[in-house]
Chain A
Amino acid sequence: MRRLLRYGLLLLFHGGFVRPVLALLGVRFRRRNLVPAGPCLVVANHNSHLDAPVLMSLFPLGRLPEVHPVAAADYFGRTWVRRAAAMLFMNAIPIERRAPAGVDPLEPVIEALRRGKTLIFFPEGSRGEAGVVAPFRPGVGRLVRRLPGLLVVPVFISGPERIWPRGKIVPVPHAIDVIVGKPRIYDPEQDPSVTAQKVRDDVLALAPPPPPVPGPRPAPPLRISVCGLQTPQRHAVYREIVGRLSELGPVLGVGAEECLVGEQGRVRELAGGVAVARGGWVARAFGKLLGVRGARLAPWVERARLDEATEGARQYRFVVSDGDALVELVAWSAAFAPEPVNEREIARAVQYVTGERRLPLRLAWRYLRRYPALAWWSLLDLARPPRPRWCVFVAAAPGHVAAALRARGSPLAPDESEASLERLDAAMRQVVETLRRRARCEVLEVAADDPAGLAAARLAELVRAHVADAGVTAPAP
């Protein structure tokens, strides 16, 4: 009964007060869909008392009894008003920041996580100076060490520090942005302070870039796509290229599963990735309902929108992508078309996919029958991926790729057979060749058994020469 009353009070407070007030303030959640449905540790920067209610609003109301912010017992336990606010209205778990010797202050947190609860944790330990993210204390690292496999969700909050910063009594209305990063599992073997530093880096990676300095804007980044059948070699070439090009200038690497940032020869993984495409469900639904073979449309849309988004990433000099939605979509359509496709048709398909031209309605039916994915792409204007400036084609033997897929153990999809892969490989070559001849895209072919570093070095030389010829200036730091 007591628990029921407590949950009722919690839901009433959040549903009837916190969420309407946040709506009035204009809170905007970005990539809210990345918050896992199961237990996790949400970690964020902390500048205001509003941070915890804002983070609790990430979760549906029904899940709130399972969500607990971690509160400092020495602060929130000081008066009964604070205690009631923290325990009744915020469902907080109190911990002692300065526990007596031999007592682990994180024990209640570990216990709650073991019970499958979701916790909101502020590793800075206290509200810091507005707009400054203080060093993270090693507590988060110790949690990772004690609970291997703990899912940590980095979140960056901007806005509450202006509404209600430390030391101010009156809150001033201001909009709030909450940016959710990709959930991660950290290495439990690592030193807790190193883990804490990594978590801090991941939270900071989500922070929006500062406004550019006044003056001429740098040119859009040079786009380099690593194409070919999806193999570990292709991924290795992509990583090597990111590393090599990072010596020439800032690089953003957009991989199938991770994003890399390279600068001054050093490469690190970007926790938040790039804005994940919305509307992939439309493509997924169409892919399934309208007979687009392989249901690959949704991942292509997401990749293409990532490519589209990175076109504005002018703080980078190069954008390297592992795979290219444009090449793959056109090649896939050509490979499985009922009749052979010539270069002119491929060039036109490239224009339809990049959005340079729209598919004329008179051709719609024909395209829908022959290349359904491509036709829906253009008719629904699903994305407009830019053309690459350089294509590195990693030529892998389809037989080897099929063998590797068979070794995976799971049954092969219809388009993963050796014959299908051969057709896909041939079509990719055709598309890349068309881009070279008709779209001024420079192509570098690399054999799959070539060392990845060698290919990257060759490309870096070509890019260096191009940059020197074109007089491309580096973006402002």
Chain B
Amino acid sequence: MAGAHILVVLATGLLLAGLVSLWLGPRGGRYRALPGWALFWALFGALLVVISRAPALVSLPMLGFVVFATLREYFFLAPLRPADRWAIMFAYFSIPLCLYAVFVDRYGLFLTTVLLALFLLMPAVLTLATGARGLLESMGRVLLAVLVFLFCAIHLAWMHHRGPGFPELYGALVLAAELPQRIAGRLRLGRAGVRPWAGVIVGLVLACGLAAWLGPWQGVGWRRAVAGATLVAISVTVGGMVTEAVAEDLGLDSAAARVGRAALLDRIVPAIYAAPLYYHLLARAT
């Protein structure tokens, strides 16, 4: 089976993450969110395997539902003005449009959908539907959602066309970069500490090592694989920082992130943030 060894590596990584979370989770503190995160990764890993190996008619609707659920949670946490409901509807409608572009394998159509339909039409919808008061804040909230939860997540679907192994490799790299960061505590804007930095560096080294080992199996040279993995690891860190900053701006404290609706966003943003970079640097380069 093509890419079976990468599947085994991903499964091992998920098992390791599960064991670490079971070991450290009961200690509480910064480890408290680990079991939930490991559970999310078990499901996300399964989704990556489905994207890699199932027919597009199965994997794309499944991914579409995940994107829908994520957008729904985000719009609950970062509510727009009541009159902005058409913009929300527009964001939901763009999911099948983007997935259709993936289905017919036309990246140009996908880019047109995102750039024209969302980045140009969305502000128009927001303006026409409501008015000027609070427009910029609403626009910022919608565009962030579209950029992170739609543009990044749909790149997972694009990996479907690159053949088996690439989505699993993505999962393995992101997991390798994120697990040490989760254990050490996440790096935050303006709050540098030795421990979070150590997590970032260990994650980077792990991801690069994995890429150098696994990349050539997928036809990616080890130098290119290491360069790509470096950017993926940095993207994971940045994704985590963005999540923390957005949560802080929305007034969601860590307790809410642990048990409330913010948990999904807390876990999915770092997991999908690196997808476009990975797709262009590693998956599409072969």
Same complex for A and B? Answer yes
B85 near A26 with CB under 8 A, answer no
- Nearest CB of chain A from residue B180's CB, rounded to whole Å: 23
Q: Are B28 and A175 in contact (CB under 8 A)?
A: no
Q: Which of B111-119, B222-230, B248-256 has 4 or more CB atoms under 8 Å from chain A?
A: B248-256
Given contacts A175-B261, A211-B250, contact A26 B72 (CB under 8 A): yes
Query: What residues of A have a CB within 8 angstroms of the CB of B27 in the complex?
Result: 358
Q: Contacts A28-B261, A162-B79, A312-B253: A173 and B72 contacting too (C-beta < 8 A)?
A: yes
| A358 neighbours in B (Cβ, 8 Å) | 26-27
Q: How far is the CB of B137 from chain A (nearest CB, A)?
A: 12
Instruction: Tell me the dominant secondary structure on chain A's binding face.
Output: loop
**B26: chain A residues within 8 A (beta carbon):** 358, 381
In the complex, what residue of chain B is closest to A159 when comparing beta carbons? B76
Interface flag for B139 (CB, 8 Å): no
In the complex, are the beta carbons of A211 and B251 less than 8 A apart? yes
Report the Cα distance A167→B119, complex, angstroms. Answer: 29
Taken together as a complex, chains A and B put the C-alpha atoms of A396 and B89 apart, in Å, by 64
B82 at the interface (CB under 8 A from A): yes
Q: Tell me if B82 and A174 are in contact (CB < 8 A).
A: no
A108 CB within 8 Å of chain B: no
Given contacts A26-B69, A130-B82, contact A175 B76 (CB under 8 A): yes
Q: Which of B79, B82, B92, B261 contacts A173 (CB 8 A)?
A: B92
Could you tell me the distance in whole angstroms from the C-beta of A178 to the nearest C-beta in chain B? 13
A470 at the interface (CB under 8 A from B): no
Complex formed: what's the CA distance from A175 to B264 in Å?
13
Q: Which of A159, A162, A358: most chain B Cβ within 10 A? A: A162
Quick one: which of B86, B88, B251, B255 contacts A174, CB cutoff 8 A? B88
Which of A161, A165, A175 counts the most chain B CB atoms within 10 A? A175
Whether A172 contacts B72 in the complex (CB less than 8 A), given A165-B82, A211-B250, comes out as no
Residue of A with least CB distance to B256: A312
- Residue of A159, A214, A384 touching B249 (CB-CB under 8 A): A214
In the complex formed, the residue of B with least CB distance to A358 is B27
- Judged by a CB distance under 8 angstroms, whether A99 is at the interface is no
Q: Is B68 an interface residue (CB 8 A)?
A: yes
Q: Which residue in chain B gives the minimum CB-CB distance to A311?
A: B255
Q: Is the CB of B85 within 8 A of A172?
A: yes
Q: Contacts A162-B79, A358-B27; is A168 near B73 (CB within 8 Å)?
A: no
Also in contact, A162 and B85, with CB within 8 A (given A26-B73, A28-B261, A175-B73): yes
Q: Indicate if B100 sits at the interface (CB-CB under 8 A).
A: no
Closest Cβ–Cβ distance, residue B245 to chain A (whole Å): 12
The count of residues in chain A whose C-beta lies closer than 8 Å to any C-beta of chain B is 24
Is B213's beta carbon under 8 Å from chain A? no
State whether A25 touches B72 (Cβ < 8 A): yes
Task: Report yes or no: B89 in contact with A170, Cβ–Cβ below 8 A.
Answer: yes
Is there contact, CB below 8 Å, between B88 and A384? no
Give bound CA distance, A161 to B26, whole Å: 39
B107 contacts partner chain A, Cβ-Cβ < 8 Å: no
Q: Which residue of B lies closest to A25 (CB)?
A: B72
Give the residues in chain A near B251, CB-CB below 8 Å.
Answer: 211-212
- B-facing residues in A144-179 (Cβ within 8 Å): 159, 161-162, 165, 168, 170, 172-175, 177
A52 to chain B, nearest CB (A): 21
Q: Give the complex CA separation of A162 and B73 in angstroms.
A: 13
Q: Determine the distance from Cα of A177 to Cα of B76 in the docked complex, in whole angstroms.
A: 9
Check: A77 CB closer than 8 A to any chain B CB. no
Could you mark each residue 198-237 of chain A with 1 if its beta carbon is under 8 Å from any beta carbon of chain B, else 0? 0000000000000110100000000000000000000000
Instruction: Count how many chain B residues have C-beta atoms less than 8 Å from C-beta atoms of the other chain.
Output: 22
Binary flags per residue of A368-393, CB closer than 8 Å to B gives 1, else 0: 00000000000001001000000000
**Residues of chain B from 73 to 90 with CB closer than 8 A to chain A in the complex:** 73, 75-76, 79, 82, 85-86, 88-89
Given known A-B contacts A211-B250, A211-B251, A175 and B89 have beta carbons under 8 A apart: no
Q: Is the CB of B82 within 8 A of A131?
A: yes
Distance A307 CA – B181 CA, assembled complex (angstroms)? 30
Q: Does A105 contact B (CB under 8 A)?
A: no
Is the beta-carbon distance between B89 and A174 smaller than 8 angstroms?
Answer: no
Q: Judging by beta carbons under 8 Å apart, are B68 and A173 in contact?
A: yes
In whole angstroms, what is the CA distance A212 to B251 when docked?
6
Q: Does A475 contact B (CB under 8 A)?
A: no
CB-defined contacts of A299 to chain B, threshold 8 Å: none
A162 contact from B69, B82, B250, B253, Cβ within 8 A:
B82
Q: Is the CB of B85 within 8 A of A384?
A: no
Encoded as 1 (CB less than 8 Å from any B CB) or 0, chain A from 128 to 139 comes to 001100000000
Query: Which chain A residues border B82 with CB–CB below 8 Å?
Result: 130-131, 161-162, 165
Chain B residue at minimal CB-CB distance from A209: B251
Residues of A within 8 A of B249 (CB): 214
- Among A339-358, those with CB < 8 Å from B are 355, 358
Chain B residues, Cβ within 8 Å of A212: 251
A161 to B81, CA, bound (A): 12
Chain B residues with CB under 8 Å of A175's CB are: 72-73, 75-76, 261
Cβ of B255 to closest chain A Cβ, rounded Å: 5
CA distance A173 to B73 in the complex (A): 10
Chain A residue, CB-CB nearest to B85: A172
B248 → chain A closest CB, angstroms: 9
CB-CB under 8 A from B73, the residues of chain A are 26, 175
In the complex the two chains form, what is the Cα distance from A312 to B85 in whole Å? 32
Residues of A contacting B69 in the complex (Cβ-Cβ under 8 angstroms): 26
Q: Which of A172, A211, A212 has the most CB of B within 10 A?
A: A172
Q: Complex: how many Å from CA A177 to CA B256? A: 14
Nearest-CB distance from A54 to chain B (Å)? 14
Contact with A along B37-64 (1 / 0, CB 8 A): 0000000000000000000000000000
- Alpha-carbon separation in the docked complex, A398 to B255 (Å): 40
Residues on B with beta carbons closer than 8 Å to the beta carbon of A28? 261
In A15-73, which residues have CB < 8 Å from any B CB? Answer: 25-26, 28
CB distance from B232 to the nearest CB of A (A): 30
Shortest CB distance A425–B (Å): 32
Closest A-chain residue to B248, C-beta based? A214
A-B contacts, 26 of them at CB < 8 A, read A25-B72, A26-B72, A26-B73, A26-B76, A28-B261, A159-B76, A161-B82, A170-B89, A172-B92, A173-B68, A173-B72, A173-B88, A173-B92, A174-B75, A174-B88, A175-B73, A175-B75, A175-B76, A211-B250, A214-B249, A312-B253, A312-B255, A355-B28, A358-B26, A358-B27, A384-B28
List residues of B whose CB falls within 8 A of some A CB.
Answer: 26-28, 68-69, 72-73, 75-76, 79, 82, 85-86, 88-89, 92, 249-251, 253, 255, 261
Please give 10 more A-B residue pairs, beta carbons under 8 A apart, in addition to A162-B79, A174-B88: A26-B73, A26-B76, A130-B82, A131-B82, A162-B85, A172-B92, A173-B88, A175-B76, A211-B251, A358-B26
Going nearest first, the 6 A-B pairs with the smallest beta carbon separation are A211-B251, A175-B76, A172-B85, A212-B251, A381-B26, A130-B82
